[in-house]
Amino acid sequence: MTGALRTELVVVEDLAPADREAFLDELGALVSTIFVNYGRDYLAKDMAAPHLASARVLMMRDGDGQLVGYNQVRRFAYQIDGRTVHMFRAMAGLLPEYRGRGSTLTFGLAQAFRFKLAHPLAEVYFLPILLHPTSYTLFARYGHAFWPTPKAPTPADKFELLKKLCETAGFPLDDPDHPYVCKPDVMTRQDEAEAADWAADPRPEVQFFLKTNPRYREGRALVGIAPLTFANLFITGAKFAATMLARRLGMAKRRR
Q: Please state the φ and ψ torsions of residue 71, each to the nearest 5 degrees.
A: -140, 120
Q: What is the pLDDT of residue 104?
A: 59
Helix, strand, or coil (residue 142): helix
Q: What is the pLDDT of residue 255?
A: 56
User: Would you tell me how many other CB atoms lie within 10 Å of the CB of residue 151?
Assistant: 12
User: Would you tell me how many other CB atoms lie within 10 Å of the CB of residue 74?
Assistant: 21
Q: What is the pLDDT of residue 252?
A: 55
Residue 138 near residue 102 (C-beta atoms within 8 A) = yes
* Nearest C-alpha neighbor of 95 from the set 128, 134, 130, 129: 134
Per-residue pLDDT of the chain (256 residues; tens, 9 = 90+): 456 889 999 999 999 999 999 999 999 999 999 998 899 999 999 999 999 999 999 999 998 999 999 999 999 999 999 999 999 998 888 887 776 555 556 788 889 899 999 999 999 999 989 999 988 998 888 888 999 999 999 999 999 999 999 999 999 999 999 999 999 878 888 889 999 999 999 999 999 999 999 999 998 999 999 999 988 888 888 887 787 777 677 765 555 5
Give this prediction's pTM.
0.84
Residue 117 near residue 151 (C-beta atoms within 8 A) = no
Residue 187 near residue 217 (C-beta atoms within 8 A) = yes
Query: What type of residue sits at position 190?
Result: Q
Q: What is the pLDDT of residue 1?
A: 47
Q: What is the pLDDT of residue 253?
A: 55
DSSP 147: B
- In angstroms, rounded to a whole number, what is the distance separating the alpha carbons of residues 161 and 157? 6
- In angstroms, rounded to a whole number, what is the distance separating the alpha carbons of residues 242 and 39? 36
| Domains of the chain, earliest start first | 6-248 (3.40.630.30)
